[in-house]
Structure 1
Amino acid sequence: MIKEKIERRNSGQALVITALVISLLIISTFYYVYDVMRARQESSQLSLEEYVLMVKLGSVHTVISSLTNVTNGGNTQLLVENLEAWSSKLKNECSYGYCLLNAYPRNTSPYSSGFHISWGQNGFGISSCYVRFNLTIYGRDVEASLEYSVNVTTSITIQGFYSQGTGTEKHVEILCKVFNEGSPALAENFNVYYQNGSIWIQTQSYSLTDYGNGTYHITFNANILTVPVNVSVGVYDARQIYVQANTTCTEA
């Protein structure tokens, strides 16, 4: 088991800007890879299976990019715009003849316009995007039709504990677990907050132990005047998707 202890100081604004830039790079980079593979197809003829796989990967990257933007403050309409751009690129540049990709963001509860984003008070937070696709390809020598779905989900669970220090000082410990599509995942960065009265304060310094398996131990000291002790943790995963959860700490 890997344990890495790091002292962190916050740079939240820079992280948000970075996340938005990275989300744009995700889809633009895939478009570049798509063009390279399409050029290869023209010279050595990709199989239909390889082409369909490429389309599916592009769909995944489009959903990831959209969820990254929305969880960092972007408009949910961006999903529709990105899906339309991806579908248009396939339609205009399909070497097999005709390629039609229809996308249907999920609107069944708890999803709305393809998104389910819930950053709750019970120690659980989720950022998810779900889209169903219908792909049709046909030309002189090939015809194919299939449906597939893409569900990109980042979630966290947190548990908080505190012990009383001198005066109003509290020593706070938080156990945070990060998941991608339900499996343990690594995080890129954290925003850590505590509540003082009616005000949420972002701690400027905390200690982080990374166990290397999606589990993190966060500790900090703060002068907290009120009880119970409420904390909030925001996480950027490796895809720069943001998710947040709040919880009430148990006195140790």
Structure 2
Amino acid sequence: MRLVLLTLGLLLATLSALSAAEPENVASGKIQINDTLKQVPKSGIVTDRATFEKLWQAFRGEEALPGIDFQKKLVIVGTVDGPNLVMLNPKLEADGNLKYVVGGTRMAGPGFGYRMVAVDRDGVKTINGQPMNASAVHGKILIGKDLPGFERNALEIKLFEYDPLLADVSADLIDEVVIDDFSHAAGKEESVPFELGKDFQPRKDREYYITAFVVAGANRTHVGELSREGRINKVRPGNDSAEVVVTLRQLR
């Protein structure tokens, strides 16, 4: 009898954990213009009202915006190619991992299908095994005191995602930071903190790198390099090692 009660208790605890993330359908539909997909975060996760408002206007036009409290909920956006219906049913596992898979029907044609569901934040620690609120990459740009001075240029820092198995496919831009009117005084050591991909959920089957350039007009005058070996500035988003130090050097 004790074994039966214990088993029943574990089952009820598991069902309770799953019910905490019971999804609420927000919207679904089909869109023929693929460019609209640019408004969907790469992670498929929306955690703030400003991002959701832009996405909603792109997908639903002037339709009234749902009153979602992003302090308590997050929105998962699933898309599939073609004019298809989307299947999306996230579940909260006992360890706090919100797990979901996007599926859909298989009708050929233009555009894409989408579904948005809202899920309670309570109890969610990770999403598909990745930290929920960790910034993808954060660190600083180092400008040495020996670097000649310059005035009123622009500093551009970008985060890219690519598939390591597809050499002939270009990388996707995930996020960028642009600092206008960027200057440096010779003989002074400086550092500029940066953060890229806030709330971005990196994929395990993708790799990532950052670029940093100082730009004067149409010309790149300086490049940023990580203090490690390698031809590109590879980073590991969502990992403690994602705090990076990028050293600026002059291009010749």
Pick 1 or 2: higher relative contact order, CA cutoff 8 A, min separation 6.
1
Q: Which has the higher helix share?
A: 1
Q: Given the two structures, how large is their TM-score scaled by the length of structure 2?
A: 0.27
Q: TM-score, normalising length from structure 1?
A: 0.27
